[in-house]
Amino acid sequence: MAMPRAPGEVGPRADAIEAEVAARLAPSPELLARLAGTRSALLAKVTAVARERGSPLVRAIVAGSAARGTFLADRLDIDLFLLFPPDLPDDRLREEGLALGRAVLSSPFVRYAEHPYLRGTFDGFHVDAVPGFAIADPAHPRSPVDRTPFHQAYLAERETPEVVGQVRLAKQFLRTLGVYGAEARTEGFSGYLVELLVLRHGTLRQLLAGARGWRIPVRLDGPDHDPPRLPPDVALILADPVDPNRNVASALSRRNLGTLIVAAREYLEAPDRAWFEPRPPAPFHQSDALARARQRASSVAVVRLARPELVDDTLYPQLRKAERAIVEELDRAGFAVLGSSSAADPDGLVVAVELAYRDRPLVRVHGGPPPGLDRAGDFLASWPAGGADVLQGPYVRADGSLGVEARRAVTSALAFLAERLPHLSLGKNLSGSSGASVADLEQAAPSEALDDALRALLAKGLPWPAPPPRP
């Protein structure tokens, strides 16, 4: 990044940049008026259709960023929530919700999250029609979307036009960092979390001023307000104001929170428009990775798995579990793992592991018990001098315990991994995959997923541009 500017000039420069970007992100009055008309027409139509069908629909609402004006223009979708009685069976919820969605949307198709919903168009806007339950208490939801009306009411009562503008600014900043979105693939900041953080701090700049001093895990309220059942690797703890038992930031990874913390300091030291201008990642292909691995004198093992028919929010946690299992198995076996990554594309899954060396020595040192213990005899019987698997010993080591230098059955990391892969717990839908294979990077079949995994493994860097040096 550029050299830090004097404190007196950072504020005015940031003011100018943020004002310019906020104005660019603000939707036009014409778009807002059209969007408001579309929301009213959509609700009127779905209510009329429900009445004609005799549907048990309790009410329909439009919620989310399109209802509050906190959307980014190129991510404008209307979220239509179709709320049914809490005692309605799940199969009826799906049936009625999808039927109503098909009746009001053009070109509808089914998508899946926790349960099916419809995506289509209405009056030229993309619309997601999501069924849920009209619950009375957000602390006791029947489905993950049941709290949404309470979130909508909470934010709508508190967000001023100034706050709305700052929310859009914060979303764009996080988007440039690649950490905006709570999907399992991203593990970033949800829109709701961004809005709560901006409400809490007032502006993006004040949020960044606070974030630059955070230490992970970050607790924004006292420990007595923590939601229960926090995982050990939690990154940020912020109780949902409509349900204190829920951590709003549960989807956020430590890596992505750490990215924001570092970026906060860098931006405040040297504000620049580039912080609000997302860029596609630089091309990085298999040939680039091979050159990088040779430069590093390391080896890359590529594990390819068949892709099961799962939605991303179910697939990616299992893929990351598979990556951890593969790394732990290689570590336990004595292969020095330097790093790992994983990625998916429509054709399959890839786990890439960088190793300090491709092969282990034939010899391994196997420690035994101290001579005075009863099991010392068992150790000597198991490892007789001159045995087929004994290269040297047994002998007494410097610390007084027994030891032997034994022959490894497998010295190649690739062969070891191919042998162990069928026995690893990779994830509910990935373990025992018949399409699994292991290859060296040079022999691995090219794919989009492989390039994505290799970029994450061998082209690491900070996800923001360095502004040009000051004259």
Instruction: Read off the CATH number of the domain in which 259 is found.
Output: 1.10.1410.30
pLDDT, average across residues 265-285: 93
Q: Give percent of the chain above pLDDT 90.
A: 83
Residue 141 lies in a domain: yes
pLDDT, average across residues 154-173: 98
Q: Give me the number of domains the chain comprises.
A: 4
∠ CA 464-465-466, nearest 5°, is: 125
Residue 318 lies in a domain: yes
| pLDDT above 60 (res 248) | yes
**Are residue 192 and residue 297 in the same domain, yes or no?**
no
Specify which residues 350 forms β-bridges with: 304, 343
Here the tokens at position 98 are 């999808």
Residue 436 lies in a domain: yes
Q: How far apart are CA 193 and CA 133, in angstroms?
A: 22
**Are residue 174 and residue 310 in the same domain, yes or no?**
no
Contact 202, 211 (CB under 8 A): no
Enumerate long-range contacts of 14-18, CB under 8 Å, 24 or more apart: 14/205, 14/268, 14/271, 17/271, 17/272, 17/273, 17/275, 17/276, 18/169, 18/204, 18/205, 18/271
Domain C-terminal end among 276, 311, 333 = 276
Q: How far apart are CA 426 and CA 43, in angstroms?
A: 45
**Are residue 297 and residue 215 in the same domain, yes or no?**
no
What is the predicted pLDDT for the residue at 159?
97
| pLDDT above 90 (res 470) | no
Amino acid identity, position 457? L
Residue 18 lies in a domain: no
- Global pTM reads 0.90
pLDDT, average across residues 226-254: 95
What is the predicted pLDDT for the residue at 2?
43
Q: Phi and psi dihedrals of 104, rounded to 5?
A: -110, -20
- Residue 467's pLDDT band (boundaries 50, 70, 90)? low
**Are residue 212 and residue 315 in the same domain, yes or no?**
no
**Are residue 86 and residue 124 in the same domain, yes or no?**
yes
Mean pLDDT of the chain: 93
Q: How far apart are CA 118 and CA 222, in angstroms?
A: 40
Residue 379 belongs to domain spanning: 363-407
**Are residue 37 and residue 123 in the same domain, yes or no?**
yes
**Are residue 48 and residue 79 in the same domain, yes or no?**
yes
What is the predicted pLDDT for the residue at 278?
92
Domain C-terminal end among 257, 276, 295 = 276
- Residue 343's pLDDT band (boundaries 50, 70, 90)? very high
**Are residue 44 and residue 102 in the same domain, yes or no?**
yes
Q: How far apart are CA 117 and CA 128, in angstroms?
A: 7
What is the predicted pLDDT for the residue at 182?
93
Contact 268, 10 (CB under 8 A): yes
**Are residue 324 and residue 427 in the same domain, yes or no?**
yes
**Are residue 89 and residue 130 in the same domain, yes or no?**
yes
What is the predicted pLDDT for the residue at 80?
97
Domain C-terminal end among 253, 276, 299 = 276
pLDDT, average across residues 247-256: 97
What is the predicted pLDDT for the residue at 1?
40
What is the predicted pLDDT for the residue at 7?
43
What is the predicted pLDDT for the residue at 373?
75
**Are residue 64 and residue 80 in the same domain, yes or no?**
yes
Q: Phi and psi dihedrals of 429, rounded to 5?
A: -105, 5
Provide the residue count of the chain: 471
Residue 377 lies in a domain: yes
What is the predicted pLDDT for the residue at 464?
83
> What CATH number did the domain enclosing 336 receive?
3.30.70.590
Residue 15 lies in a domain: no
| Tens digits of residue pLDDT in 46-100 | 999 999 999 999 999 999 999 999 999 989 999 999 999 999 999 999 999 999 9
Residue 13 lies in a domain: no
Q: How far apart are CA 369 and CA 375, in angstroms?
A: 7
**Are residue 139 and residue 186 in the same domain, yes or no?**
no
Neighbours of 237 (CB within 10 A): 19
Residue 152 lies in a domain: no
| Tens digits of residue pLDDT in 103-128 | 999 999 998 877 789 999 999 999 99
